[in-house]
Chain A
Amino acid sequence: MKSGRIFYTILFFFVFTSLLIVVGVVTSLTVTSYPIFSRDGLSFIFKSTWNPVKEDYSILPALLGTLITSAIAISISTPLAISLAVFSIEIVPSKFRAFINNISDLMASLPSVIYGLWGLYVLAPILHQYVMMPLHHYLGFIPLFSTKPIPTNLFTAGVLLAIMIIPFASSVIREAYNAVPYYLKEAAYSLGMTKWEAIKTMLGYIKSAIFAGIFLALGRAMGETMAVAMVVGNTFTFPKSLFDMGYTISSLIANQFPNAEAYNYMIPALYGGAFILFIVGLAINLAGLYWIKKVMIKS
C-alpha cells in the first residue's frame, strides 16, 4: 500500500519533469528567437539571404534543403527498412537472425560524426562517380537532375540520411511484425497463400506501425546536424535540382553557432530556424497521425 504510493509519487515526478522539459524547450525557443521575428517579421522566413556582415538573416533555402533531404531519405529508406524487417524475420535462418538484428541496432547507435566522415570521404565520391554523373549524363533533361553534380550536395546528404535512419524505421517495423498474432500467419498459410502473399497480408495488418517507424525516422532525418553539415555543400542558395548544393536548418545551426555570439542577431536567427523546424516537424507529425487514423478507420 505504502510502497505503491511512493511508486506513484516518483512516477508523477518523472512525468511532470519530462513535461516540464518540453515546455521549457518551446519557451526558450520562443523567447530566444523573439528578437529576429520582431525585427524582420515573416520576411525572416521567406527571404534567401544569410549575410552576417549586414546582420541580414532568413531561413527559406535551409528549410527547403531540410525538406528535400528528408524527402530523399524517406523515399529511399522506407522500402529498404520494410525489406530489412521482413528479411530478418521471414527469410533469414533463425541462427543468423540475432546477428542481423544486432548489426542493425549497431548501425542505429553509431555517432553521427562517423557517418559524416564516412559520407564525406567514401560515400560522396562513389555516389558522384557511379550514380550522380550517369544520372546527369543520361537524364539531365529532367529538371531534378539538371545540375552538373559535385560530390557534396543535397542528394548525397539525402542518401546518407537514408542510410542513417534505416535501422530506426526497421526496428519499429520488426517489433510490430513480430507482434502479429501467430494464428493470423497460420490462417494465411492454411488458406493456401504463398509466402509472398502471407507477408503482404501481415504488412497490411501492421500498417500503422510502419507509418510510426517512418515518422520516427523522419524526425531523425530532419534534425540531423553533423553528418549533413559535412556532405550537403553548405551554400545558402535556392536549390533548383537534387544535385544542387544547399543547406539544412540543422546543418546551418551546426555551422554557424560557434561564432554566432559575435553578432547581435545571429543567435535569435538560429533559434528562429530551430523554432521553424520544430513547427514544421510538428505539422508533419500531426498530418501523419491524422492520416494513420484515416487509414486505420478505413481498414
Chain B
Amino acid sequence: MKMKANTKLVLTTIVVIAVAVLVSIFALSSWQTPTQQTTATYTATTETTPTPTTIQLSGMINGAGATFLNPQMQAWASKFYELTGGRIQVNYQSIGSGAGQAKFREGVLDFAGSDPPLKADIYNEFKDKGGIIQFPVVIGTIVIVHNIPTVESGKLKLTGEVVAKIYLGEIIYWDDPEIKALNPELNLPHEKIIAVHRSDGSGTTRVFTAYLAKVSKDWKDKVGSDFTVAWPVDQLGNGVGGKGNEGVAAAVKQNLYSIGYVETAYAYEVGLKVALIQNRDGNYVLPTREAVESAAKTLVTVLPRAYEDWSHIFPDETVDAPGKESYPITSFSFVILRQVYDDPVKVAILKEFFQWVLTEGQKDENIVKGYEPLPPEVSMVGLEGLKLLRTT
C-alpha cells in the first residue's frame, strides 16, 4: 500500500515536472517571436463566394503600426463598424511604424500602417511570396514649434538649412546672424537655443530628418535620416529628448528659448507657437489646407504604382516639394497589404474597408483634425492597387 503511494507520488512529480518544462520551453520559444493572435472569426460565410459585395460578409481584420496614423485609423474603423452595422471590425494597434513593418514581415498582421513605406529588403522578400501593395491613406505634416516669449506664433521665419544647423549645434543662439537675417523685424534674444527632439523611435523623426537631409548636405553626410538618429546638438548639452509628441510638447513648453518639431495636430492642440518655414520656392508657409494640397499635388508626378518599391522615393525625395504655396514637411501615411491571402473572406473585407477609406473616408467629416485628405489622384494609387488582392 505504502509502496503504491510512493510510486504514485514519484509519477505525479515526474508528470508535473514534464509539464512545467514543456510549458516553459513553449513560453521561451514563443517569447522570441511574440505572435499576435490573428483571430478571424467569420459567421455564415462560404468559401465559394463569387461576388462578395452582394453577400453580407462579416469578420475582423487586424492591423498595427504607425502611432501617427492611429487616431485617424481608429476614427475610420469605428465609423466603418457603424456603417456596416457591426459586420466588419477593424482592429488597429499603434505599436510604431518599425514594429508594424516587422510584424507584417512575420505575417501576423493583415495590414500594416507606416509613415515611411516598406523597407526595400522587406519589399524584396515579399516579391517571391506574391508581392505586396502599399498606398497612401492620409497626409500628415510636421511643424516647427518654438518658445521665445517675445515672439508670437506664426511670426518667426526659418529655413530648412537654419533648422538643420540648429540641430547640428552650429547655430547656438537665437540672435545668430543667420536667424536675424531672416527676421530683421523681430527682437531676438541672446539666449541659447534648446533643441528638443523625440527620444523614442518614430516615423515623425524619420520624416523630419529626411527633410533636413534634403535641404542640408551637412546633415545628410553627418547624421542621416531614421526613426532615431544621433543628434549632434545633444553632445553640446543643448539638446533634450522628449518621449512621444507629448514629451516634446512638454519640453518645449517648460524650456524658454527652445525649438522642437511635432505633428501639426498636436501643436495646435496644446497651443505651441508655430514657426513659418521657407519652402523650395522661397516663400514662408504654414501647414494650411492649401499649402498641404499644393505639396501633395506636386507629388502626383512621382507616385509609383501600388505594387512597386517606394522606399527610395518616400519620404527622402518627396519632402521639400516644389510649388509656390507648398508646405515642405509634408508626408503620406501608408497602408501596406500582401497581395495574396489564404482566406477569400479576408480579401473581400480588406478591399471593402480600404475602398471606403480611399473614397468616403477622405471626406471632411471622416478626417480627424490635423490630418489632410488625399487629392483624388493620390487615392487612385490605392484604389488601383486594391484590384491586385487575391487568394492563393
Instruction: Name the contact of A24 in the complex, choosing from B24, B103, B247 (C-beta under 8 A).
Output: B24
- B9 contacts partner chain A, Cβ-Cβ < 8 Å: yes
Query: In the complex, what residues of A have CB within 8 A of residue B313's CB?
Result: none
Instruction: Choose among A28, A124, A255 the residue with the greatest number of B CB atoms under 10 Å from its CB.
Output: A255
With A5-B9, A51-B229, A124-B254 known to touch, is A235 a contact of B194 (CB < 8 Å)? no
- Complex interface: stretch among B11-19, B49-57, B259-267: B11-19
Q: Which of A211-268 contact B (CB under 8 A)?
A: 229-230, 233-237, 240, 244-245, 254-256, 258-263
Residue numbers in A under 8 Å from B40 (CB-CB)? none
C-alpha spacing A229/B246, complex, angstroms: 12
B151 within 8 A of partner (CB): no
Q: Residue B251 at the A interface, CB < 8 A? A: yes
**Once bound together, how far apart are the Cα atoms of A125 and B253, in whole Å?**
10
Q: Is A96 an interface residue (CB 8 A)?
A: no
- Cβ–Cβ contact A49 & B230, under 8 A: yes
Chain A residue at minimal CB-CB distance from B17? A16
Q: Does B255 contact A (CB under 8 A)?
A: yes
Taken together as a complex, chains A and B put the C-alpha atoms of A33 and B98 apart, in Å, by 20
Known: A52-B226, A237-B237, A244-B237. A255 touches B200 (CB 8 A): yes
Q: What residues of chain A lie closer than 8 Å to B243, measured between beta carbons?
A: 229-230, 234, 254-255
For residue B32, CB closer than 8 A to chain A, the reply is: yes
Specify the chain A residue showing the minimal Cβ separation from B256: A150
Q: Are B20 and A13 in contact (CB under 8 A)?
A: yes
Residue B341, interface by CB 8 Å: no
Q: CA–CA, A258 to B93, complex, Å? A: 12
B209 to chain A, nearest CB (A): 9
B155 nearest CB across to chain A (Å)? 24
Q: Mark B200-222, 1 if CB is under 8 A from A, else 0.
A: 11100000000000000000000
Contact B199 A125 (CB under 8 A): no
At the interface, yes or no: A53 with Cβ under 8 Å from chain B? yes
Q: How far is B240's CA from A255's CA once the two chains are assembled, in angstroms?
A: 14
Within the complex, which residue of B32, B194, B201 is in contact with A32, where a contact is CB–CB below 8 Å?
Answer: B32
Residues on A with C-beta less than 8 A from B223 are 53
For residue A27, give the distance in angstroms from its CB to the closest CB of chain B.
7
When the two chains form their complex, are residues B96 and A234 in contact, meaning their CB atoms are under 8 A apart?
A: no
- Note all chain B residues with C-beta closer than 8 A to A152: 240, 242, 251, 254
With contact pairs A234-B242, A255-B201 given, residues A262 and B101 touching in the complex (Cβ less than 8 Å): yes
Interface residues of A, Cβ cutoff 8 Å to B: 2, 5, 9, 12-13, 16-17, 20-21, 24, 27-28, 32, 49-54, 120-121, 124-125, 128, 147, 150-152, 229-230, 233-237, 240, 244-245, 254-256, 258-263
